[in-house]
């Protein structure tokens, strides 16, 4: 997205850092965050969304191209834009998060051999669910 479009939509414009070295560091951290976010899709304890939000923030300071590509992604793009513009997530996204959280933690708990590991995973799942519960919800406009 160009800066004009972002300003019309209420999002903060992409402002590249002045230093090439700092831009390279932001770009590196952005790619690391994308990789961790992708790994988080299959690992139940590693969250995906915070890493993608971090990547969007890093790309906003390092590369118009990669920032635009991330926002253009059909799955992550709308969620990131919602967060940038309103600091919230849609109710339907939150329901999907709870469903995937229950499925991934539930299956992981069933696969754990000891009660101690099962209890730790259950506690982690509860803490993560409470964290997600605190994220503001915004219903889609009609």
Assess whether 96 and 82 both reside in one domain: no
User: How many domains does the chain contain in total?
Assistant: 2
Supply the pLDDT for residue 15: 83
Assess whether 124 and 56 both reside in one domain: no
Assess whether 37 and 8 both reside in one domain: yes
Supply the pLDDT for residue 83: 84
Assess whether 21 and 57 both reside in one domain: yes
**Residue 142 located in a structural domain:** no
Q: How far is the C-alpha of 87 from the C-alpha of 74, rounded, in Å?
A: 19
Whether residue 9 has pLDDT greater than 60: no
Residue whose C-alpha is closest to residue 12's, from 86, 93, 102, 65:
86
Assess whether 111 and 64 both reside in one domain: no
Supply the pLDDT for residue 140: 67
Domain range for 43:
3-86
Q: How far is the C-alpha of 106 from the C-alpha of 96, rounded, in Å?
A: 15
Whether residue 94 has pLDDT greater than 60: yes
Other beta carbons less than 10 A from residue 122's beta carbon: 15
Assess whether 50 and 106 both reside in one domain: no
Assess whether 101 and 75 both reside in one domain: no
| Token code pair at residue 57 | 């923030």
| Per-residue pLDDT reduced to its tens digit, 53-80 | 899 999 999 999 999 999 999 988 988 8
Assess whether 13 and 82 both reside in one domain: yes
Assess whether 40 and 67 both reside in one domain: yes
Assess whether 101 and 31 both reside in one domain: no
Q: How far is the C-alpha of 97 from the C-alpha of 132, rounded, in Å?
A: 8
């Amino acid at each position: 997205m160009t800066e004009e479009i972002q300003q019309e939509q209420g999002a903060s414009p992409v402002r590249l850092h002045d230093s090439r070295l700092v831009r390279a560091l932001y770009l590196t951290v952005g790619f690391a965050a994308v990789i961790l976010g992708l790994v988080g899709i299959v690992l139940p304890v590693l969250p995906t969304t915070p890493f993608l939000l971090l990547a969007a923030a890093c790309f906003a300071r390092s590369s118009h191209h990669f920032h635009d590509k991330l926002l253009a992604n059909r799955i992550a793009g709308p969620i990131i834009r919602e967060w940038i513009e309103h600091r919230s997530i849609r109710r339907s996204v939150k329901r999907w998060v709870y469903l995937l959280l229950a499925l991934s933690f539930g299956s992981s708990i069933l696969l754990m051999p000891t009660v101690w590991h099962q209890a730790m995973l259950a506690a982690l799942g509860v803490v993560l669910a409470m964290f997600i519960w605190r994220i503001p919800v915004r219903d889609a406009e009609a």
